[in-house]
């Protein structure tokens, strides 16, 4: 029976932080459900993980979570799995002024960063709120607690993620639910994020930032949040140190 195994589900697992988080949980012996649009990337990652950890079951699901119907289809495809941990990592950014931003891209960003995350969080909370040791970790951004020039709309989507997840965490606590909801807020992290946000394949992190983290560092921060009883894991942009805390928004 599949339900005899406990899985960690990670969205946006084909690259960047999502891929690093998959590797980090695999090292801890977690069976994995990985989803993204790029099947080849997922298959390559699974091949590596299975070679390193042959005892693990690595399930791949290819879906475009910017499409709300595919979000529902993805979640319902997992009904036979017991998912102890859910990581909503899928998302992307956009660097441009509001007046000049590409609204087609913005529409997709809102669908993925907000709508998909809300649907998946809600469905998971409904099914696992009474399940012992279950966790939901949503990826926000340091831009979800501050405003970044030329990234106003992106920051707004991540403000939503931060507020929604903090609110859900407090709601679950008030209900004495077993499920814990947590939010991770990275600062600059060297991934494909910069290329997508700027529509520039030659985006250079060394030129854009004086300091940034690697995907592997952010995955380690996520594990610290996972191991803690705190709700927020946030990078301080003054020195790029990582801090765990309770909710930052008033309830």
Average pLDDT, the chain: 97
**Residue 150 Ramachandran class (φ > 0 left, ψ -120 to 50 alpha, else beta):** left
| Rounded to 5°, angle at Cα 115 from 75 and 90 | 70
All structural domains of the chain with their residue ranges? 2-245
pLDDT beyond 80 at 1: no
64: pLDDT strictly greater than 70: yes
| Helix (H), strand (E) counts: the chain | 9, 10
**Burial environment of residue 220 by CB neighbours within 10 A (0 to 12, 13 to 18, 19 or more):** middle
- CA-closest candidate to residue 133, choices 95, 79, 169, 177: 177
Tens of pLDDT along 196-224? Answer: 999 999 999 999 899 999 999 999 999 99
Question: Quick check: 185 and 232 in contact, CB under 8 A?
Answer: yes
Q: Classify domain 2-245 at the CATH topology level.
A: Rossmann fold (3.40.50)
- Which pTM does this prediction carry? 0.96
pLDDT at 4: 81
């Amino acid at each position: 029976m599949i339900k005899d195994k406990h899985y960690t589900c990670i969205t946006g697992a084909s690259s960047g932080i999502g891929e690093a988080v998959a590797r980090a949980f695999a090292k801890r012996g977690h069976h994995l459900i990985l989803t993204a649009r790029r099947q080849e990337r997922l298959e390559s990652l699974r091949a590596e993980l299975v070679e390193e950890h042959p005892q693990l079951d690595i399930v791949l699901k290819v879906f475009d979570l910017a499409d709300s119907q595919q979000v529902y289809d993805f979640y319902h495809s997992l009904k036979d799995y017991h998912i102890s941990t859910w990581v909503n990592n899928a998302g992307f950014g956009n660097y441009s002024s509001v007046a000049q931003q590409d609204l087609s891209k913005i529409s997709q960003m809102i669908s993925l960063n907000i709508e998909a995350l809300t649907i998946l969080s809600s469905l998971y909370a409904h099914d696992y709120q009474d399940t012992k040791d279950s966790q939901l970790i949503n990826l926000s951004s340091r831009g979800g607690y501050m405003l970044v020039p030329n990234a106003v709309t992106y920051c707004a989507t991540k403000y939503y993620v931060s507020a929604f997840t903090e609110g859900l965490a407090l709601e679950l606590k008030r209900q004495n639910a077993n499920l814990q909801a947590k939010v991770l807020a990275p600062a600059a992290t060297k991934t494909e994020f910069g290329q997508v946000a700027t529509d520039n394949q030659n985006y250079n992190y060394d030129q854009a930032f004086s300091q940034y983290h690697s995907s592997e560092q952010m995955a380690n921060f996520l594990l610290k949040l996972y191991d803690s009883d705190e709700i927020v894991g946030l990078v301080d942009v003054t020195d790029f140190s990582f801090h765990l805390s309770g909710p930052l928004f008033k309830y």
